[in-house]
Structure 1
Amino acid sequence: MSFAVFGASMDFCLKTAKKRVKMTKGCGKNLERRTQAEWEEAVKTYAEKLYQDYATGKKAPVQISANMTTPNAAKDFIALAMKTSTCSALRVFQRQPVEGRIHPKTKEPVMKFQPYVGGAS
């Protein structure tokens, strides 16, 4: 089984905002190029909105860590992430088979990340 950390991270939101916010605004004849300062402000605003949506649960949590082999490694990642960047709603998820679903070609159970409900640590 593999484990991963899902939640809201400002670093992830900034990276996503940089991809989605365009250097132009308007459309058609009204198309205008943004200055670097305007673009950076738009990116910052969009990233903050994304972060709030992920933190409040309006959007599904996203994977912000690599796959890990133990839940303790994921918990250590959460502790480190909370110290070094702006994060919220961080949870450990485990890759588990989905009940009642079999892949039609491989005849193996369908695997999906689901919240980890392990023992006390």
Structure 2
Amino acid sequence: MSSQRRQLDSEAFELQREDHDSPWLAVFVADWCQPCETLLSRLSSVSQESIRGLPVAVVDVDREPMLAERYGVKGTPTLILFIDGEPRLTRVGALSEQQLLQIGEECARN
């Protein structure tokens, strides 16, 4: 999955949101945030499971504060699942591998 992870600025984020019909994850992080590193590491380790192929876009909240505000990001890490360009599921914190797999199951239903 790490090969599919890309850093987005506001413009690239909007292009991703508008042009992606299939589900994708936006992960709002900060460089100084240790739980963010934990979450990104867990995303990579569960990529062999049901969320394989799910594109992951990383947004640095310090570089893109307006984007974080727009989507109600109050803490890092925040993970938002987008389906058909709309946020459908939001989770905050360094989610467990099981919680990440549940997001994969949510994608499979849509």
Whether these two folds match at TM > 0.5 is no
TM tier, smaller:
under 0.3
Alignment TM-score, normalising by the size of structure 1: 0.24
Larger Rg: 1
Higher strand share: 1
Q: What TM-score results when the alignment is normalised by the length of structure 2?
A: 0.26
